[in-house]
Amino acid sequence: MVPKKQQIAVIGAGLMGHGIALTLARAGQYVALTDPHEDTLKSAPKRISDSLKVLGADEDEIARALKMIELCSSVGAAVRQADFVFEAAPEKLDLKRRIFTDIEQHAPAQTVLASNTSVIQITKIMEGLKHPERALGTHWWNPPHMIPLVEVIKTEWTDAEVADRMFALLSDAGKTPVTVEKDVPGFIGNRLQHALWREAVSLVERGICDAEAVDTVVKSCFGRRLAVLGPLENADLVGTDLTLDIHENVLFDLESRQGPSPYLRQLVEEGKLGMKSGEGFRKWTEAEAEAVRARVGTHLRKLEGILD
């Protein structure tokens, strides 16, 4: 079934915005793309082309996708005929609120409004709108054109039909949407991910092992099956009774403090910001950092069937 052509506005042409735009354009949707920074907007077609090449698209497919994307100089111009709007601005609450105030002044009454954010509660972003029933969250994962998941987050005001329309659009574009029924910080994915990270940091902070050991255990053990066996599937596989026995004997000792690790805060205060500064939990040469980036990219392309 060929998806219905609809008008999509993407607000923000950076790392996330250009990936969202190319994903929807590649799926045959019309996209109006805007960004307040002229250089970012002008460079979007080349970055979209480069990202499509990474996905294995040929020149004809790239040309077709680019023809579906119009660069717009303002939010008003981008959203005036939009069926859906995706805001992909930086993770700053006040900025996102201002953008949606602007969007609501120019978008048609039936337009679905979506904010792309990793952790900010959608309720806080949309609470000032005149019609919050048409607003929701869509958490695309980076890189958005390669990671299938999009979390669709409802607020207490979101109309069920609006969520269904978004779900259908994303599914037609080849994404894997899931519904987040309650708007909580971090939604589903980041709550799970950072629960793991909190314990990982704690293991190093408490001197139980070093950072390399943590990463090796995850990559060489349960991380290998996570792509095909979710945690609750695994619990059912081994049995809820065994899972309960394990929890009785380990949960009491897991990290549970409310707030970031003092060790993590110390690293940041000392300028040990990870690969970009040459040291974080581990020391990194530029060659080592680039090798990690290349390894991740190769792995994602293999999952997408781009590489043998």
Residues recognised as catalytic: 118, 139, 151, 190
Report the b/e string of 14-30 with b at 16+ CB within 10 A.
Answer: bebbbbbbbbbbbbbbb
HEC letters along 261-305: CHHHHHHHHCCCCECCCCECCCECCHHHHHHHHHHHHHHHHHHCC
Alpha carbon distance 155, 121 (integer Å): 9
CB-based contact 193:185 (threshold 8 Å): no
Kindly give, in sequence order, each residue whose CB lies less than 8 Å from that of residue 56, ignoring residues fewer than 6 positions away: 301, 304, 306
Which residue's entry shows tokens 């979209």? Answer: 48
- Which two three-digit tokens encode residue 239? 């049995």
- Which two three-digit tokens encode residue 62? 């790239």
Q: How far is CA 114 from CA 117, 136, 144, 197, 199, in A?
A: 9, 5, 15, 28, 32
Q: Note the maximum CA span of the chain.
A: 59
DSSP codes of every residue in 159-195: -HHHHHHHHHHHHHTT-EEEEE-S--TTTTHHHHHHH
Alpha carbon distance 35, 14 (integer Å): 8
Q: What is the CA radius of gyration of the chain?
A: 21
Strand 84-87 and strand 69-72: the pairing is unpaired
